[in-house]
Amino acid sequence: MIDELITKMVEAGVHFGHQTRKWHPNMKKYILAQKNGIHIIDLEQTEKCLDDASKFLADLAAKNRKILFVGCKRQAQDAVREAAEATGQYYVNFRWLGGMLTNMSTIKKSITRLDYLENLASQPEYKSMSKKELAALSREREKLLRNLCGIRNMGGLPDAIVAIGADHEDIAIREAHILGIPVVVLTDTNGDPDSVEYPIPGNDDAVRSIRLILSVLVEAINKARPITD
């Protein structure tokens, strides 16, 4: 199984890191070599870290805990949403709003506002609004929906975060640490693996790499989820 997974990771380009001049020194222990100015990640270590992260998330899933998937870079957006939907979990894939975790009360107000805007046509004031007002409210609704659709039903803080890119999602990771929420992160060679509890060294810029890593985590979560009627 390990050899099969490593073969899939090679095919997906998980082993390709960033240019050697852009590396983070704390990634040294996960780097196998360098080729043509690019760091090559040790996939045996990636497999071990992925296994550790999978076991951690499976344990949470078995207890019906909440997992928040985060990936706002273009290459990760679709994969993150699909992973969350496939596991019945939550996601942020457009933009991380500062305070999404540490200022949850404000986020809840925004979700309430979104609910209002989505049901605007049934409100008594709707008929008295001008086309200009309705157009502005429609734009506001679309913006809120992009930012909040993946967490509107989360109902509180998550028990863990799965993020794509330690450098790109640094604000989310910092907020999680403030609140003591453990973090699983696909970490490229320019990120700091020591800043998270469960780093998974690998290419966080390639769509195939992101999808493969998430597919392993999704499988672990779904296998551990309690069977419901």
Model-level pTM? Answer: 0.93
Which range of residues forms the domain containing residue 134?
Answer: 104-148
| 60-96 pLDDT tens trace | 999 999 999 999 999 999 999 999 999 999 999 999 9
The residue with greater pLDDT, 55 or 2, is 55
Q: Are 191 and 24 spatial neighbours (Cβ–Cβ below 8 Å)?
A: yes
pLDDT at 186 over 90: yes
Same domain, 87 and 18: yes
| 114-161 pLDDT tens trace | 999 999 989 888 889 999 999 999 999 999 999 999 999 999 999 999
Last residue of a domain, one of 90, 122, 148: 148
Does 229 fall in a domain? no
Q: What is the pLDDT of residue 127?
A: 87
pLDDT at 184 over 80: yes
Burial class (CB in 10 A: 0-12, 13-18, 19+), 115: exposed
CA proximity to 68, closest of 47, 39, 93, 51? 93
Q: Considering its fold, how many domains does the chain have in total?
A: 2
Give the phi and the psi of residue 25 in degrees, each rounded to 5.
-55, -30
Q: What is the pLDDT of residue 2?
A: 56
